[in-house]
Structure 1
Amino acid sequence: MTAAGTWVLLRGLTREAGHWGAFPDLLRAQLPANARIVALDLPGNGRLNQARSPTQIEAIMQSCRQQLQALGMPLPYRLLAMSLGAMVAVEWASQHPVELAGCVLVNTSLRPFSPWYRRLRPCNYGTLLGVALGLKSPRAQEQAILRLTTRHPPQPEAVLAKWCALREAHPVSRGNALRQLLAAARYRAPMARPPVPLLVLVGGRDALVDPRCSRRLAQQWRLPTAEHATAGHDLPLDDGPWVARQVGRWVTGAG
């Protein structure tokens, strides 16, 4: 599999393109010079925060396809997607496999392969609902998300300041946050593996989604997988160089 072409980055629940931070540059260093990297916003997030978030993963996927078509990006694409974004990638690979040359799925959880209490750890329900409903100050909400999704982020205070600035610039509405939660909760992946090359990356200390969800998916579909022993849910933030190296090794056949 060649690593050239267009790489599309998809984030998760209420997160936007800006939350990738320095990761696109780290990934670019592992790809050919002519590779393109495009970080998309899911509807309701980032530059699309005025749009209404769909309650179906399929509709989110269609929005991503339309964005790339409007940008004139040539097929096929390669997706690197985490959490909710990885559900979008799975649906895309299932419905439109000819459009994709590969997908990297980071810390996702899918019905019917994992039970609800592993897909989203129950101990976090109160915190997540408080964030979705905006019950705390913006800074306190971002602090809560940082605690839930990371284990050892580099320069956490700088990250928190950046996330607060993103929230101020592109606030996600309460309704959109709840609709994204609903879309993730109701999505059911196909039993059969999509006919697209897939790689699973796992944060072994993910406090938000049980790592067994990704392991179970890899086992069910017989996928190559790599696990970071100490990283959390936001694996590209906890150890972006490791993620970039895993992708580089996979696309060159060394992984």
Structure 2
Amino acid sequence: MSTWILLRGLMRESRHWGDFPERFQQAVGAERVLCLDFPGNGQLHAEHSLTTVAAMAEHCHRQLQVRGVTEPVHVLAVSLGAMVALAWADLYPNDMHRMVLINTSVAPHNPFYLRLRPANYPALITTMLFGSSEQRERLILRITSTLQTTQQAKEIVTRWTTYAQEKPIVVGNILRQLLAAMRFRAPPYSGKVPLLLLAGEHDRLVNAACSRKLAGLWDSPLHSHPTAGHDLPLDDADWVIEQVLSWQVNANFAPALQSENQ
């Protein structure tokens, strides 16, 4: 049975995937797609967020056991979720078959001013800590997506605000998640878990140069979207699905070709 695990980023939860999980499952032919929430977010909003990425990776490992998943999984992860995927693959490489990391950045390979664009600092500090739910969600949409038409943006902000009010994220958990991201140092990439990197060239939160640097360091394929932002599954779900399908086909074809040539 093929299982895909989807991991979101800072202050996000399973519902922020929208209809992407269903579309993705149908396109890739997965038997199961599971969206995991980190403590402090979504279904686990009443819990304290974890203060290290490694602890978040341990949480994901335990969730496989809780949900009865015994075979290696495929992971698609965005931003902070992608950091967790890297730590998870390092701690438990037998858990994973392959992983797709979207718009991520990691120390020590990416400098802080590329990992979080400085132009966002004032708005993030004031709005995340002191703003209303609607103000937070409006800011998040503005810096993570290129879907900015008035009606479309209004509908998304309304939906996200409802999520935030139903399962609120307290300021303490926001700070804990930020601390985890800031403290994380990427482990050496062993290559045991095949990796695909995706990036949006119009990412207003994390500079796409971060993904380019990681692709070079890890000798991993990178596909860049010319107009999408940080939240690639929101901005262009079809493109993300197309890249994953193409990568799967090439990955499955390569071993077969190697076998024929031996």
Name the TM tier (shorter chain).
over 0.9
1:28 shift after superposition:
1.5
Which has the larger displacement, 212-221 or 156-165?
Answer: 156-165
Question: 207, 217, 238: which one pairs with 1:210?
Answer: 207
* Residues 201/69 of structure 1: CA separation in 2 closer, same or farther (3 Å cut): same
Higher helix share: 2
Which has the larger displacement, 148-157 or 122-131?
Answer: 148-157
Question: 88, 101, 104: which one pairs with 1:92?
Answer: 88
2:250 aligns to what SS in structure 1? coil
The answer on whether the counterparts of 1:76 and 1:100 sit within 8 Å (CA) in structure 2 is yes
> Which amino acid in structure 2 is aligned with residue 218 of structure 1?
A
| Structure with larger RCO (C-alpha < 8 A, sep 6+) | 1
Report the TM-score, using the length of structure 1 for normalisation. 0.94
In structure 2, what is the equivalent of residue 227 of structure 1? 224
The answer on whether the counterparts of 1:46 and 1:170 sit within 8 Å (CA) in structure 2 is yes
> Which amino acid in structure 2 is aligned with residue 239 of structure 1?
D
| Deviation readout 1:192-221 (Å, 9 max, x if unpaired) | 344101000000110000110011001100
> Which amino acid in structure 2 is aligned with residue 26 of structure 1?
R
> Which amino acid in structure 1 is aligned with residue 56 of structure 2?
I
In structure 1, what is the equivalent of residue 47 of structure 2? 51
Counterparts of 2:118 and 2:184 in 1: how far apart (Å)?
18
In structure 2, what is the equivalent of residue 188 of structure 1? 185
Counterparts of 1:206 and 1:221 in 2: how far apart (Å)?
22
In structure 2, what is the equivalent of residue 68 of structure 1? 64
Counterparts of 1:143 and 1:196 in 2: how far apart (Å)?
36
Whether 1:11 aligns to 2:35 is no
In structure 2, what is the equivalent of residue 20 of structure 1? 17
In structure 1, what is the equivalent of residue 258 of structure 2? none
Identity of aligned residues (%): 46
In structure 1, what is the equivalent of residue 165 of structure 2? 168
Counterparts of 1:192 and 1:226 in 2: how far apart (Å)?
19
Counterparts of 1:148 and 1:93 in 2: how far apart (Å)?
29
The answer on whether the counterparts of 2:61 and 2:95 sit within 8 Å (CA) in structure 1 is no
Counterparts of 1:131 and 1:27 in 2: how far apart (Å)?
33
Counterparts of 1:11 and 1:39 in 2: how far apart (Å)?
8
Counterparts of 1:52 and 1:246 in 2: how far apart (Å)?
35
The answer on whether the counterparts of 1:150 and 1:233 sit within 8 Å (CA) in structure 2 is yes
The answer on whether the counterparts of 1:106 and 1:202 sit within 8 Å (CA) in structure 2 is yes
1:29 aligns to what SS in structure 2? helix
Counterparts of 2:115 and 2:73 in 1: how far apart (Å)?
27
Counterparts of 1:167 and 1:22 in 2: how far apart (Å)?
18
In structure 2, what is the equivalent of residue 81 of structure 1? 77
Corresponding pairs, count: 250
1:98 shift after superposition:
1.0
> Which amino acid in structure 2 is aligned with residue 237 of structure 1?
L
> Which amino acid in structure 2 is aligned with residue 16 of structure 1?
E
> Which amino acid in structure 2 is aligned with residue 152 of structure 1?
L
CA-based RMSD: 1.5
